[in-house]
Amino acid sequence: MPAGSALWRSEPWHAQATAFVDETLAARGLRRTGPLETIRVQPWSANLRFCYSGRSNGVGWYKANVTPNRFEADLISALAEHDDDRVAPHWAANDAGEFISPDYGPVLGEVVAAQNLRRRWAAVLTRYAELQVSVAQTGIVLPAPTYPPLLVADEFDSRTDDLVARDVVRAAAARLASGPVPLSIQHDDLHPWNVFLAADTAEAVDGARFYDWGDSHFGHPFASTQVGLDQFDDDLAWPVGPEHEELLTAYLLPWRAYADDATLRTLVNDALLVVPVSRALSWERALVDLDPAETEWAQRPGRWLQMAIDRAHIAAATPGGH
């Protein structure tokens, strides 16, 4: 039986998806006005688009994930129930974790002018961190993979024989685990094209909503800084440099209830020693049904593990490093 991208390109699966869309629309007094259009098929997910009319006219989306990431539909439901100002709910999901959503409008990467992008993104990082803080404070149970720091260190030990790197990553993980910042949701792919934003204004940022949660996990929240800070042609190195100061300051604002700024920044650098490993784990999940012909993706987990090794050696050789 085909799986992954081979499944999503098959006619039987497409017919099944179409039937689910029609059923969902009918329940809302709507009808489909054209075929489902395949927009993107990747080894880990498929995205299809459709148009509808009836009580209202619009565009909708259909998403399917590989089996390890099918939690995304339930996670979106839980996060939207917790804070629908920051997470847009979907309309329906099936037993395979495939889900249907309306089009919630433009994304930040499309509507923000280049000269405003860094400023708007900084404000969005604050808003995202507020979501993480509220999840941590309420203690809601989320249906997502759980990667606490010490588990990530265990996974790293099983994937490398580099003892220096293993020691550095485990020490950083131990500091994160014992530190003052609680675990929370971690998007793991937070970039300007995964944020709904209506307009290029400060007011619109107050309505920004986050989507595409298939890579996420429950773990140390500062792992989000890996992608969140690394957006504007400033390669994110270890430790975090002054070129990322504006973004890092914005992200850390809501976390100041837990620790002073110096402590938080130290923990960010610890997180950046551990997060390449959790990114490798995320890629391993995503590529579980990889077609042998899709060779361009096969090296992604290994590249992240190599980043963990490289950063660990930099830290080991840095005076005052870890």
Q: What pLDDT does residue 237 have?
A: 86
Q: Do 73 and 163 reside in the same domain of the chain?
A: no
Residue 322 pLDDT > 90, yes or no? no
The enclosing H or E element of 39 equals strand 37-41
User: Tens digits of per-residue pLDDT, 290-317?
Assistant: 988 888 899 999 999 999 999 999 999 9
Written as six digits, the tokens of 66 are 């590989």
Q: What pLDDT does residue 3 have?
A: 82
Domain count within the chain: 2
Q: What pLDDT does residue 261 have?
A: 97
Q: Do 11 and 129 reside in the same domain of the chain?
A: no
Residue 195's domain comprises 108-317
- Cis previous bond, 145, omega within 30: no
The CATH number that applies at residue 199 is 3.90.1200
User: Tens digits of per-residue pLDDT, 8-37?
Assistant: 999 999 999 999 999 999 999 999 999 999
Of 86, 102, 118, which closes a domain? 102
Q: Do 150 and 171 reside in the same domain of the chain?
A: yes
Q: Do 203 and 270 reside in the same domain of the chain?
A: yes
Q: Do 70 and 155 reside in the same domain of the chain?
A: no
Does residue 322 belong to any structural domain of this protein?
A: no
pTM of the complete model beyond 0.85: yes
The CATH number that applies at residue 9 is 3.30.200
User: Tens digits of per-residue pLDDT, 105-129?
Assistant: 999 999 999 999 999 999 999 999 9
Of 70, 102, 134, which closes a domain? 102
* Cβ partners under 8 Å of residue 237, min gap 6: none
What is the dihedral angle through the alpha carbons of 275, 71, 68, 3, rounded to the nearest 10 degrees? -140
Mean pLDDT value of segment 162-184:
98
Measured from the Cβ of residue 92, the count of other Cβ atoms closer than 10 Å reads 17
Of 102, 119, 135, which closes a domain? 102
User: Tens digits of per-residue pLDDT, 88-104?
Assistant: 999 999 999 999 999 99
Q: Which amino acid appears at position 141 of this protein?
A: V
The string of DSSP letters for 76-106 reads HHHHHHH-TTTBPPPSEE-TTS-EEEE----
